[in-house]
Each structure stands twice: as C-alpha cells, then as structure tokens.
A = this chain, B = another copy of it.
Amino acid sequence: MFTLPGKESGTPTTCAGPASTQDLGSSYGHCLEGECSRKPDQKLPELHGVGDPVMFSDSSYLSSRGRMIKWFWDSAEEGYRTYHMDEYDEDKNPSGIINLGTSENKLCFDLLSRRLTQPDMQWVEPSLLQYADWRGHLFLREEVAKFLSFYCKSPAPLKPENVVVLNGCASLFSALATVLCEVGEAFLIPTPYYGAITQHVYLYGNVRLAYVYLDSEVTGTDTRPFQLTVEKLEMALQEANSKGVKVKGLILINPQNPLGDVYSLGELQEYLVFAKRHQLHVVVDEVYMLSVFEESVGYRSVLRCFFLQDFGMSGLRFGTLYTENQDVATAVASLCRYHGLSGLVQYQMAQLLRDRDWINQVYLPENHARLKAAHAYVSEELRALGIPFLSGGAGFFIWVDLRKYLPEATFEEEMLLWRRFLDKKVLLSFGKAFECKEPGWFRFVFSDKAHRLRLGEQPPFSSPAQADYTKNLGGN
C-alpha cells in the first residue's frame, strides 16, 4: 500500500500507509526524466486493474488512473526541479549541479550536430508531411533492416516488414505490454534494471514486473556479480505463479543497464530455451548495442526481437522494434498512431543509417574512443579511492559499490547518501531506482566531457576515508 504526496490539495489522502502524507510530501530528490522517477523509499503502488477504486485523492478532475499517472510525474518532478533550478554551466553557473544521473551520451554532440546539419538532411517533400504507414516510412524501415543486418551480424538479411519504427523505446515498452499482456499480467525482469520500464509497462498497459533478484556476491555456480541464471529465472517464475500472477514474457536489457555488462551467446541461448519452455515472449532491449567500447567484449545481438535506439540521442525520439511475429508487429503498428514520429525525422534517420562511411569511419571509432577514455578516467579515479565498481565495457555508466559508506544497510541510508551527493552538487542514480536488492549501489554516468566528470567527482572523492568522507558530505 502506498500514499500519494497530498501537496497540491493539502487534504489528507483516504488511504492508510506506512508514512504520513506530510512525510511523503517532503522534498525528495530524484534522478531525471528518462530514468528512475520514484521516491526510493516508497513502494510502487499496489498494482491493480484500471478502474478499481484507487486511493489517490488529490484531484477530483482526474480518473483514478489519471491521478496515478499524475503522481508519477509529480514525484519525478521534484528531483528534476532540483537539478534544473541549479544546472551546471561552465560559464553561467560553474557551481551548479553536475548531472551524472541521466544516461545520455554527451561526448559526441559535435559529430552528430555536424552530420545532422549537412545539406542532405534538409529534404522536405509532400509525402513526409502527409499521413504515412504507421509502421514507419518504407524507406526508413529498409534502412533499419540493412543497418541491423550489418551491425547485428545476422545470418540472413533482416526484413523491412518486421521493422516497426516508433518515437522511442518508452513507447515500445508501452505498446508491447498492452498487446502481449492482459491487465495485471507481468513480465519477468532481472534486477537491477533500468527502472523507468516499470512505468512504461504500467501507465497505459497496467502490466506489472516480476523481479528476478540478483546478488552482488559470487556464490554457487555464479562466475560474476549479479549473474542471471536459468535457476534464478525458474525460481522467480514459480514465485510469481504461486502468487497468482500470470507471467507473459521476459525482458532482457543487453548490454545491461545499469551493470554495463553483456550476456554471452551461451547465456542468451539458455534464457531463450527457458522462455520457450514456459511459452514466454522475450523482449530484448539492445539500446546500447553500438556502445560496446571495449573490443574484447564479445557482444552478440539476439537477432530476434529487439529495440534499437542508438547514437545516444534521447531527444530525437526514435526507437525500433524488430520481430518475426507478424501479429505482434501489426498490433504494435496499430498503436503507432499514438507513437508516430515526424516524416522529416524519419528521413533524417534514414540518411544517417545509410551513411555507413560516416558511421564506421567517423562516428563509431570516435565515439568508442571517447567512451573508453571517459570510462578509463572515471574508473581510475574510483580505483585510486579504493571504491569497488562493476563495468563490463558497454553502455554509458559504471555501477558503483558505495555500501561501505552506509552506516546501516538500508535504503533510507542510501537515500541520505544520495542526497549528500546532491547537496555537493552531484546528481547520481541510487540503486533502489533500479530495484537493486542491496542498498548502497549507485549508477555513475561517465559519458560526459572531462571537465564535468572532474567536477562531478571532486566533492565526494576528495577525502576517501570513510569517516572524513561522510563527515565531509554531511558537513554542509
């Protein structure tokens, strides 16, 4: 059970919860819009069918689901506001907040902006301004299929008719949840995971997540921290079933967010066999497919049912579905009336994807080199400070173990530490937002310019010893 912050109406909510309205209405910070948006010490609302009586009482103008949807915004808004009211800018606000929380690649705007302003991008023709195939223009789906065939190294060419283009991966999760699951059904997902998926499957679709909790400790047959095994999948599935929750699919993020790790081909195959045995859909989010910056990492695309949203351009609103199940493609396409992207952007994306010279000779080498350098910088700093972390050579982030800085292993302490970072003008993402079961893990996004990383690291790491460190953090 959970309560809503009643800050707008000021009237008490009608539900009893572990914390008073007043408590919940206080100023929690949050990571940013594309990321975790929940208060870390609040549980997700008990999931229920839309239309059920709901306890949200702060706006009589909205439906019960409308009040819940608004709550997701309000709770995210608080952290967002904190950051945006005091955003770092090297000229205008050099003592502002450094954002190491939002997973965006800020290293290659120069390359992207140069490419996107070239003359071939400025094409406007009537068909781009008219209603088009909701799956996306054919010219774009053809380019996506070629692009994926090449970069996923598919054994046979991928087909444009299996491609659906949408305005981002959030939309794709929303549409897939709705067309694959009934209200209240669930997807399995290993934790820690990119927390925004919770709302993506829930807000429109009323679909829940059943967690496969992973540990940092390496025990039994595990060979590395937070390792996903079929045994753990089986247990989580059984547990969901025993609670009467019907599981319809498995969500995998590969490369993983926040772990920055990739699944081996063998692992992927095992997960797929597990899913087939239980007749589960497999949704593989491969957003970070081209952000594997360590050559030694043997990344393999699942080549089956996956998303693409690369180049780190979250503001461009572009994501794609590839599925060989035409029923799924068609049902998602039908919802694309609500997830369409401009014909002009579709044209530009096609131009970008077909410019293989630029991608291979300019963008990817430079991007990987910059990611690698930024990663090396941050990981060396962490090593020098004796702070453990995980990082698998992919993605924009490092999964940092700050457990030793928590006086007690609770999420309240994790939150306090997170807020001390924010007081010191560094915005991070805390582990609870990824449903990590162990308090004290944080995600550091390193895909930013060196001077920001330097500033971002300065305050917490200037005094590495725990006592000094926490004192230092708590000092202001």
Contacts and interface: CB of A to CB of B under 8 A. Distances in A.
The interface size bin for chain A is: 35 or more
B104 A113 contact: no
Contacts of A102: 130-131
A113 B66 CA distance: 39
A112 B124 contact: yes
A315 B69 CA distance: 28
A167 interface: yes
B122 A122 contact: yes
A130 B315 contact: yes
Contacts of A122: 117, 121-122
A38 interface: no
A16 to B, nearest CB: 23
B337 A50 contact: no
A179 B104 contact: no
A70 interface: yes
Interface stretch (A170-178, A213-221, A416-424, A452-460): A170-178
Contacts of A199: 337
A316 B339 contact: no
B182 A314 contact: no
A130 B113 contact: no
Interface in A328-348: 328, 330-331, 333-335, 337-345, 348
Interface in A423-474: none
Nearest to A133: B33
B344 A341 contact: no
A170 B112 CA distance: 31
A104 B315 CA distance: 28
Interface in A95-117: 102, 104, 106, 109, 112-113, 116-117
B317 A340 contact: yes
A2 interface: no
Contacts of A123: 117
A333 B73 CA distance: 8
B327 A184 contact: no
A465 B171 CA distance: 53
A200 interface: yes
A7 B117 CA distance: 47
Given A51-B49, A167-B167, A315 B128 contact: yes
A108 B74 CA distance: 42
B33 A134 contact: yes
Contacts of A315: 127-132, 342-343
B281 A61 contact: yes
A316 B125 CA distance: 11
Contacts of A328: 61-62
A475 interface: no
Contacts of A63: 178-182, 185, 248
Nearest to A60: B327
Interface of A: 8, 32-34, 49-51, 58-59, 61-67, 69-70, 72-74, 102, 104, 106, 109, 112-113, 116-117, 121-134, 167-168, 170-171, 174, 178-185, 196, 199-200, 203-204, 206, 248, 281, 313-318, 325, 327-328, 330-331, 333-335, 337-345, 348
25 contacts: A33-B133, A33-B134, A50-B182, A62-B179, A63-B179, A63-B180, A63-B181, A65-B179, A66-B327, A70-B334, A112-B124, A116-B344, A127-B315, A129-B314, A167-B340, A167-B341, A168-B340, A203-B337, A204-B204, A204-B338, A315-B342, A315-B343, A316-B343, A317-B341, A344-B345
9 closest cross-chain pairs (CB), A and B: A66-B179, A73-B334, A51-B183, A59-B327, A315-B343, A70-B331, A113-B124, A129-B313, A109-B126
